[in-house]
Amino acid sequence: MLARVRLVLVGPPGSGKGTQGPVLASHLGVPHISTGDLLRRHVDSGTALGRRVAEVIDRGELVPDDLMIDVVVDALGDAATRGYVLDGFPRTVTQAEVLEKGGSALPAPDLAVHLTIPDEVVHQRLAKRAIEEGRRDDADPEVIERRLRLYREETEPLIAHYRDRDALVTVDGDGPLEDVSSRLLDAVSRQAPGEPRR
């Protein structure tokens, strides 16, 4: 059984974390938790947190680590010990370190899955979503560039962080959705062999 697998998805904007996260979570029988979705729900509901982070998200900047850690501890709840697919967290080495030292509230991941796609595909996918879904941080190419730059500066160091811990798999996120899903499920099964939960 792939019980209690804790997996984090790391990849640039538009790499498919939010699309493939639920596929992986369903395969593993654990919850999928997207920090971007959580934050957008706060913004849409007009909570104090949502009012605080709305402009940060629209500018394509990162929400401060301390706020994010509170959001994730709150969202994980019981899932922390039952397993999870976390999408969008950690996004900085500080967040990864908290996830490793966080004890029962935030147990460390077993595996980090690094999804890769070329920058031009990022721009194509996000421009399309801006038209179809109206996400404000997709609408301006400069904001997309800022998200990519912050990804390289703040998030990419996580690749070495997890590789050093022998807890990294890299998967090509370009190509048809079903092909990416197959590559991901293959890669994860090889790292955590066993029968998927039904």
**Sites of contact with ligand AP5 (CB under 6 A):** 11, 13-19, 35-36, 39, 56-57, 60-63, 68, 88-89, 91, 95, 125, 129, 137, 147, 175, 177, 180
The helix or strand, by DSSP H or E, that contains position 143, with its residue range, turns out to be: helix 141-150
Based on CB atoms, which residue is closest to ligand AP5, 11 or 31?
11
Of the pair 3, 177, the CB lying nearest ligand AP5 is at: 177
Task: Say whether 198 sits in a helix, a strand or coil.
Answer: coil
CB of 78 to ligand AP5, least distance (A): 21
Which CB sits closer to ligand AP5, 49 or 62? Answer: 62
Minimum Å gap between C-beta 155 and ligand AP5 is: 8
Q: Which is nearer to ligand AP5, 61 or 156 (CB)?
A: 61
Handedness of CA 109, 81, 185, 119 (dihedral sign): negative
Radius of gyration of the chain (CA): 16
How far apart CA 166 and CA 95 sit, in angstroms, is 18
Least Å distance, CB 28 to ligand AP5, is 17
Least distance from ligand AP5 to the Cβ atom of residue 30, Å = 18
Closest alpha carbon to 123 in 12, 20, 39, 22: 12
Output 31 or 60, the one with its CB closest to ligand AP5: 60
> At closest approach, how far in Å is the CB of 52 from ligand AP5?
12
| Long-range contacts at 102-105 (CB < 8 A, ≥ 24 apart) | 102/69, 102/73, 104/80, 105/73, 105/76, 105/80
